[in-house]
Amino acid sequence: MFSHTRPVNAVAGYLRWYVGKDESEVTEYTVVDCHQHKKRILAKLEGIETIEQAEDLKGMKIFVSEDEVEVDEDEFLWQDLIGCMVSDQYGNKLGEVTALHEFGAQDNLEIKTTVDMEVSGEWLLPFIEDVVELVDLDKKIIEVNLLDGMDACFTPKS
């Protein structure tokens, strides 16, 4: 399997995996063994004994209990950022975080304008210190500093 954890082998630190197409329908598995092999993760799950059983899990997602995930003070779970309202350094509302993407060098916030905004479209902003100035999960707000040229990060929709 491929892991999106950081580091890649961090997924091996969880004893229980919840496997399914989405969070609403998962099967719980106990992880018997898990280790990194080159760019992939090899795992042995309790109850998965044959190749056919393993192939049935192909294309599924792995979820872990949020209670088991350790997050430092300056780190955030992606799911907690979804739904946050984003404003620039002048207080202009940019929209709402609808997704996050990892494109190599840094994570990126996908921000969609809301129906009450004058121009509709999407922002794709890097989630880096120079851009993200404040994240307040209690208030569900993110304040960003739009650097010169970042207006190119906006794609208008008609």
pLDDT at 97: 98
Alpha-carbon gap, residue 100 to 77, rounded angstroms: 10
pLDDT at 75: 86
pLDDT at 141: 98
Could you tell me if residue 57 is inside a domain? yes
Residues 110 and 59 in one domain: no
pLDDT at 31: 95
Strands (E), 38-120: 40-45, 61-63, 85-87, 93-102, 107-112
pLDDT at 122: 97
Name the residue range of residue 61's domain: 8-68
Question: Where a domain ends, among 18, 37, 68?
Answer: 68
Mean pLDDT of successive 10-residue stretches along the chain, which has 158 residues: 80 92 94 89 95 95 88 86 97 96 87 93 95 96 96 90
Cis peptide, bond prior to residue 156, ω within 30 of zero: no
pLDDT at 1: 85
Residues 55 and 110 in one domain: no
What global pTM score does this model have? 0.74
pLDDT at 40: 84
Residues 84 and 148 in one domain: yes
Alpha-carbon gap, residue 90 to 126, rounded angstroms: 18
Write the CATH number for 101.
2.30.30.240
